Amino acid sequence: MKQYPSRMGVGASSILLILVVVSLTLFAALSLMQARADAALTQKTAESIATFYDADARAQEKLAALDDALQQGASPESIDGVTRQADGTLSFSIQTQDGHALNVRVDPSNGKCSILAYQYENTQDWAGENAGTLWQGG
């Protein structure tokens, strides 16, 4: 019986293994990095939403305090943070830890607070980050 020599030399399987292992490791590391980035983003969103509802709760409590002050005939400006505008409306701002503010403007003319504006705004200036890794052209 004639025996044919093996065409696969020593080292071919090692090269194949290295390629396969490197590829699998790369995909696994990428998927782990992506999952961790998603988790971090979700955590950030959760914190942001909790911060908003905390500011919203403080604003609602302040509205209740404003209504009480109006009913008792007390000056609304006596409540901390409430200021009267030139047009007679009252406004206050609730600051949050993450650089946002809930700005509220109410109309006290009929003895109760009627909400005119209830805006959640960013109070920090946006600063673009450039790591210097982008190709600038030329």
Partner 1 sequence: MTQPMLLPPKKRSSFSPVLIELTIVILFFALSASVITRLIAVADNTARTSAYESRAILALQSVAEQVKADPIGDNTCNECGARVFAIEVDKDLTVDCVVTSDDSPQQGTLYDIELTVTSPSGKVYALDAVRYLADAEVAP
Closer of 8 and 131 to partner 1 (Cβ): 8
Amino acid at residue number 53: Y
For residues 84 and 112, which CB has a smaller minimum distance to partner 1 in the complex? 112
The single-letter code of the amino acid at 102 is L
By CB under 8 A, residue 119 contacts partner 1: no
Q: How many CB atoms lie within 10 A of CB 57?
A: 11
Q: Are 98 and 51 in contact (CB under 8 A)?
A: yes
Out of 6, 97, 130, 136, the residue judged to bind partner 1 by CB under 8 A: 6
Determine whether 63 is exposed, middle or buried from the number of CB atoms within 10 Å of its CB (0-12, 13-18, 19+): middle
Query: Residue 20, interface with partner 1 (CB under 8 A)?
Result: yes
Q: Which is nearer to partner 1, 33 or 95 (CB)?
A: 33
19 binds partner 1 (CB under 8 A): no
For residues 102 and 94, is the Cβ–Cβ distance under 8 A?
yes
Q: What are the φ/ψ torsions at residue 56 (nearest 5 degrees)?
A: -65, -40
Distance in angstroms (rounded) separating the CA atoms of residues 57 and 100: 15
Footprint of partner 1 on residues 58-117 (CB under 8 A)? 60-61, 63-65, 67-68, 70-72, 112-113
Task: Please pick, from the candidates 2, 4, 8, 106, the single residue that binds partner 1 as defined by CB under 8 A.
Answer: 8
Identify whether the C-beta of residue 38 lies closer than 8 Å to the C-beta of residue 30. Answer: no
Residues at the site binding partner 1, with contacts judged by CB under 8 A: 6, 8-11, 13-14, 16-17, 20-21, 24-25, 27-29, 31-32, 34-36, 38-39, 42-43, 45-46, 49-50, 53-54, 56-57, 60-61, 63-65, 67-68, 70-72, 112-113
